Chain A
Amino acid sequence: MIQTLFGSVEPEPSLLEKLKSGVQKTRAGLVNALEDALQGRKEIDAELLDELESTLISADIGVRTTEEILERIRQRVERHQLADAAELKGMIREQLLEILAASERAPAHVAEPPAVILMVGVNGSGKTTTIGKLAQRLKNEHRSVLLCAADTFRAAAIEQLEVWAERSGAQLVRQGPGSDPSAVVFDAVQAAKARKVDCVIVDTAGRLQTKEHLMAELHKMTRTARKVIPDAPHEVLLVLDATTGQNGLEQARKFTESSGVTGIVLTKLDGTAKGGIVVAIARELNLPIRYVGVGEKVDDLLPFDSETFIESLFEK
């Protein structure tokens, strides 16, 4: 059962199924790197651990998290709790699951619609596209959706969101390019309240987490939404590109500080990048991963599933 802002919905095709169905993509089979490494081996030796380390690091999990996992394995080997190489994979999976499970959290309950979802993230991570897909998902659940074009900065960002609103059949509130994003938020949230819309999704301009004035601008948008709906925003989703390396952790940290991120959307998982940085993010910041993006079409957004995700970390 999948949790959404409004409760539960039916399960649907898994990420793996979805990825497998992308026929023309030459995603190199589901060869399992770890099993490769384990082939014909019984003992856990330094070489095997090295290979393990490479697998984890190349998935962008980061050195620190990787070292921590390996250290625990070493300890168990030393204490003779783990001798058989075949048990290794299970153990790593268990550890990763534990990290991801610890950060799971149900979305905030929305006492009275509209629910306000704020999308934040660095430039080009996939915010606008994700909004289009999310609007479609909510539509499928028979929710009415209003999109708020608060990226008034990037060239043609408003037009882009407009296309997504059309595609997903959502309403749109916009102003002209260069207008104050907070003013658009105010308009949108008020309109949603008046029109009794179920959900407002706010598109914001991409910003690097080091730009303090831009982070403050996000904060202002939040405050503005609260003027109309005191417990808004109900969700603040950080949209993170799966190709992101170690900087992803800093992104999560700074966006959480400035705008109270409540969950992550991991986009572009249809490529070869694994998005392992979310493991480090879950571990350090306790942020749940809500959705994954697996393409550029309107239905290419899936709820996050940790088992499938971990499985995919070990694919070549």
Chain B
Amino acid sequence: MFDNLSEKLQRVFKNLRGEGKLSAENMESALREIRLALLEADVNFRVVKQLIENIKAKAMGEDVLTALSPSQQVIKIVHEELIKILGSHEAKLRFANEPPSVFMIVGLQGSGKTTSAGKLARWLSRNGHRPMLVSVDVYRPAAREQLKVIAKEVGQPIWEGAAEEKLPLDLARSARRECANMGRDVLLVDTAGRLHIDEDLMTELQQLKEQLNPVEILFVADAMTGQDAVKSADEFHKRLGITGIILTKMDGDARGGAALSIRNVTGQPLKFVGVGEKSDAFEPFHPDRAANRILGMGDILSFIEKASEEIDQKKAVEMQRKLIDNEFTLEDFRDQLRQIRKLGPLSGLLDMMPKVGMLKELKDVKVDENEINHVVAIIDSMTPRERDNHMIINGSRRRRIARGSGRSVQEVNQLLKQYAQARKMMKSLSGGFLGRKFGKMKMPAGFPFGNLPGR
């Protein structure tokens, strides 16, 4: 959907080489593209205005470097300006000197507070803490039941309050007491969603704050939020003094420009991002990745991190060499497929990939785990010699392989054809960054399982 900003800038600056300096004239259309990209990413228009001025001031009169292309140079400036707002490092949670540390979780309706409370409980318990949960959402139907289910799922205790405790303040009070009694060191208070203009409910939050004396007030915001993000965040911050932000639903394709807006208007750091509905889909916020994503350059770092956890590096390097030297056999191919399988649900992994720019080929790749199993089965049925040299696989061998693997001859034919094509293509593609690291990850569309429906 979105054209990559860096591609657009490349077009803009096509004729710039040799002009020497970035100037008002040659920057004008570049700035227009940057503005467009930021607005389409839902960065608030006032923030965009400010950013554009800063970028302009910084770029103007800079020498056009020889090491970087002008577009790369401008991207670098834009990126630096975004990081300036987003913060340059991961922000840590704060804890009280005297436990329990109380964390309040606040935000608009449906932003993901209850889910995030569960995720945070899980995260804390895996990082040396003993959290306890409480829901003071007495308004939304089944909200307390929801947190109860989630608490059970993450295996952390929840305080459900005494039967007569029906008010948020009462529940909060008894939860705090119980937390101390049970020796839990963090109390996570899940509050009801509310509009920032709802006077009564905003007052209720202030009262909760007064009573609980929290060390963290985490504002949960939906990554898909548009221009209004500044208004709600600003009001929550004015009323409560939020201490951090959790950005949810980053597993979709929203660019998440709201992060920039909220950070800018509150000055408070983003601490975590939610990347799925399950309780483990929760990560510390990385400013650098968020900046790339806002610019439409994909969350490639997350992908690389995940891939490098799973993929055997030595093997990857060896594979790369083979690719380049055109020694990539069906045996190697099967190895690669097995490694892909190890990466877990493939759809999730591909979601993290940038759908633009240099990895455009991946856009339409739909990986079917079953399909991988079929391909592996076909290769399993080959003899070592056949795997080593696909050229010897003639008609009768194909029939035998098909029988042995329980697949059709057409499937065997198709695999061999695509393998031959892919070998050629991979050789030409393998110079890229990802290619250098993990040769086979860079599958062109139409690769063995490229045109099959997803799970």
Q: Which residues of A contact B (CB under 8 A)?
A: 24-27, 54, 57-60, 62-63, 122-126, 153-157, 159-160, 162-164, 208-213, 216, 241-248, 250, 268, 270-274, 277, 296
A25 touches B149 (CB 8 A): no
Q: Which residue of B lies closest to A54 (CB)?
A: B45
Q: How many A-B residue pairs have CB under 8 A?
A: 157
Instruction: Tell me the interface secondary structure of chain B in the complex.
Output: loop
Q: How far is the CA of A126 from the CA of B224 in the complex (A)?
A: 14
Provide the B22-60 mask, 1 if CB < 8 A to any CB of A, else 0.
000000000000001001111011000000000000000
B209 at the interface (CB under 8 A from A): no
**Is B427 at the interface (CB under 8 A from chain A)?**
no
Q: Point out the residues of chain A lying under 8 angstroms from B3, CB to CB.
A: none
Q: Is B18 an interface residue (CB 8 A)?
A: no
Mask, B218-231, CB within 8 Å of A = 1, is: 00001011111101
Within 8 Å by CB of B142, from A160, A244, A270, A274, lies A160
Structural contact, B141 and A164, CB atoms closer than 8 A: yes
Q: Are A213 and B45 in contact (CB under 8 A)?
A: no
Known: A123-B112, A123-B277, A243-B229. A155 touches B252 (CB 8 A): no
Among A156, A212, A242, A296, the residue within 8 A (CB) of B149 is A156
**Is B315 on the interface with A (CB-CB < 8 A)?**
no
Contacts of B198 in A (CB 8 A): 24-25
Q: Which of B197, B249, B252, B347 contacts A213 (CB 8 A)?
A: B347
List, in ascending order, chain B residues with CB within 8 A of A57's CB: 39, 45, 227
Chain A residues positioned under 8 Å from B109 (CB to CB): 124, 126, 268, 296
Given A63-B39, A122-B249, A244-B225, the answer on whether A155 and B45 have CB atoms closer than 8 Å is no
CB distance from B298 to the nearest CB of A (A): 13
B227 touches A155 (CB 8 A): no
What 0/1 pattern do residues 228 to 260 of B give for CB contact below 8 A with A? Answer: 110110000000000000000101111101100
Partner of B226, one of A123, A156, A245: A245
Q: Measured between C-beta atoms, what is the minimum distance from A174 to chain B in Å?
A: 13
Complex: chain B residue closest to A66, CB-CB: B39
Which of B251-304 touch A at CB < 8 Å? 251-255, 257-258, 277
Asked if B351 is at the interface of the complex by the 8 Å CB criterion, the answer is yes
9 pairs, CB–CB < 8 Å, chain A vs chain B: A155-B114, A155-B149, A160-B141, A212-B366, A241-B222, A247-B253, A247-B255, A268-B108, A296-B140
Quote the shortest CB–CB distance from A249 to chain B (angstroms): 8
Expressed in whole angstroms, the minimum distance between the Cβ of A193 and any Cβ of chain B is 28
* Cα-based distance from A243 to B258 in the complex (angstroms): 11
Q: Are B195 and A271 in contact (CB under 8 A)?
A: yes
A123–chain B nearest beta-carbon distance, Å: 6
B199 at the interface (CB under 8 A from A): yes
Q: Tell whether, in the assembled complex, residue A273 and residue B228 are in contact, meaning their CB atoms are under 8 Å apart.
A: yes
Would you call A209 and B366 a contact (CB within 8 A)? no
